[in-house]
Structure 1
Amino acid sequence: MVKEPPIQVVNKTRKTVKQKRTKTVRSKSAASGNRKKKKDSEYSSIPLWLKYVILGVSAALFVIVFYYFFIRPYTYRWKPCYGVKAYGVCLPQGYSVHGFDVSHHQGKIDWEELHKTQQTPFPVRFVFMKASEGGDFSDTAFVRNFDMARQYGFIRGAYHFYNPKTDAARQADFFIRSVKLEPGDLPPVLDIETRSKDVPKLRRDLKIWLDKIEKHYHVKPILYTSYKFKNRYLNDSIFDSYPYWIAHYYVDSVEYKGQWKFWQHTDVGTLPGIDESVDLNVFNGNMEELLQLTIPKE
């Protein structure tokens, strides 16, 4: 028996392994191809009319979802204005006292130009300004805006943006250090928009802030939030006792059924002297009633 040279044995072995691998790959490819053919065959067996129905239903669902989340909330912007249009929006009917609110996001305000709104058919009388947030953030535009508002004859107010993750007493102390209210100013405002997983704790903490502020300024603070937030998290007689500033955009009337003092009805208003869009508000009463809400002289 003649032995084959070692190199021939090695080469033969490698060839055998390569053949096995090739067969395995071909086998897998064939199986994959068969599955694809079977899938294509099953799809091609669906009637043409059913394909069009499936495509139509998918398109309809897409349009419905897109409208519900991206168009419906803003349709009020394009509705015909049957009332009075001013400051870039359709003003709510039945309210004579108008105002706005600002923060550093509006940039530098030309208060002399803005003052001209007080001589229009729809004079702007009051303004709320962001003063603080959490336990250590001061709005960079507050000091200037607060001084200029008084200088140009606006009834002014200041608000604090509440952070549920920061100690309530600390936030109240920070607002007190940041804001010096005078007779004729509107009561301090608590802006609550951020949800908390622990709702009972949120309510207790908000009450701490409100009580401490009321004790310092000797006036009941104003509570600002959306009507949905109010109904969901602050639906309590304790919070109903505070003057309520409601945020509800792009609607003809407020859906909230409780008592309220201010209504923030849009966030896309335009005012002279302010380059950016601005929130517009109305007061639920006349000018005399608004003055009665301000901090009295001691």
Structure 2
Amino acid sequence: MWLLIRTLLPLSILISGCSPASTDLLESAVKQAKFADNDPQHFEGRTPHRHDVHGIDVSKWNGAIDWIAVKRSGVAFAFIKATEGKDRLDPKFHTHWQGATDADLPHAAYHFYYFCSSAAEQADWFIRNVPKEANLLPPVLDVEWNHTSPTCRHRPPPETVKHEMKVFMDRIEAHYGRRPIIYTSVDFHRDNLVGAFPDHHFWVRAVAQHPEVVYPDRNWTFWQYTSTGIVPGIDGETDINVFAGSRQNWHSWVASVSR
């Protein structure tokens, strides 16, 4: 299978629209997108541009966003930073959330986890700030080592990490009715998550090597492939991601998680 897809979607869904004969059509669709990358990587021939569903993730650092222009550029989804720890709200969250809603762009909120406060406190903070709305993507738990944080660089052992994540995600799922997506980085996954949470969709960061290389045996649904993307409607560089399947797979997946 030409995409080398690793996701939690049923195999029958993955195969649909992803045969070798469809390669030229999918690459043609991607080339029609109006966004680009200031520092593109080719991932040894497994370029993310062979995937036809791309999206962005944004926070306060992206400033004001023209969401209509973003959608027109070919962006298909957005992950929007909402909260950090037990008491920090991204100051652009509500503006970005409303903008994506007005543009009718599928979107979800994400929480940046701090290992210096309890999982319950952080889940309650997220719930307090993120609307409980229908027809959106599942919420996201962002887990990575906070090596540049001025207040929390604590690195608990793997079993503690997984226990705290489960407490947080169970509380979020109970409230929103959707199992959270897990976002993670290469080092955090290697230290804590190999083989863990097989029933969750994973969103992985891999900007130098293909996920197949740095996340062996990990099923993934989203791949963050660059932080130097250029997207109309956003000033400066931004993160760009791909969905693992075809456009047909994407519509099926969104329908399944929006129920």
Pairing 1:174-189 to 2, within 5 Å after superposition: 174-189=125-140
Pairing 1:267-286 to 2, within 5 Å after superposition: 267-286=227-246
Say yes or no: does 1:146 pair with 2:97: yes
The TM-score normalised by the length of structure 2 is: 0.74
Say yes or no: does 1:244 pair with 2:226: no
* Structure possessing the higher radius of gyration over alpha carbons: 1
| % identical equivalent positions | 36
Query: What is aligned with 1:158?
Result: 109
Q: Deviations over 1:219-242 (max 9, x none)?
A: 1110000133213211244x2221
Matches of 1:163 and 1:96, distance apart in 2: 34
Deviation at 1:136, TM superposition (A): 0.6
Q: Is the Cα contact below 8 Å between 1:189 and 1:224 reproduced in 2?
A: yes
The Cα RMSD (Å) is 2.1
Deviation at 1:251, TM superposition (A): 3.1
How many matched pairs? Answer: 209
Gaps of 5+ in 1: 1-82, 118-122
SS at match of 2:50: coil
SS at match of 1:230: helix
Q: Is the Cα contact below 8 Å between 1:134 and 1:163 reproduced in 2?
A: yes
Query: What is aligned with 2:58?
Result: 102
The structure with the greater share of residues assigned to helix is 1
Deviation at 1:187, TM superposition (A): 0.3
Query: What is aligned with 2:219?
Result: 259
Gaps of 5+ in 2: 1-29, 41-46, 146-153
Q: Is the Cα contact below 8 Å between 2:37 and 2:226 reproduced in 1?
A: no
Q: 1:197 aligns with which of 147, 156, 173?
A: 156
Deviation at 1:212, TM superposition (A): 0.7
Say yes or no: does 1:211 pair with 2:170: yes
Change in CA separation of 1:293 and 1:170 when aligned onto 2, cut-off 3 Å: farther
Q: Is the Cα contact below 8 Å between 1:248 and 1:254 reproduced in 2?
A: no
Moved over 4 A (4+): 83-86
Deviation at 1:132, TM superposition (A): 0.4
Deviation at 1:98, TM superposition (A): 0.4
Matches of 1:183 and 1:232, distance apart in 2: 35
Q: Deviations over 1:206-226 (max 9, x none)?
A: 110011111111111100001
Pairing 1:1-298 to 2, within 5 Å after superposition: 86-89=35-38, 90=40, 92-117=48-73, 123-194=74-145, 196-237=155-196, 239-251=197-209, 254-255=212-213, 256-257=215-216, 258-294=218-254, 295-297=257-259
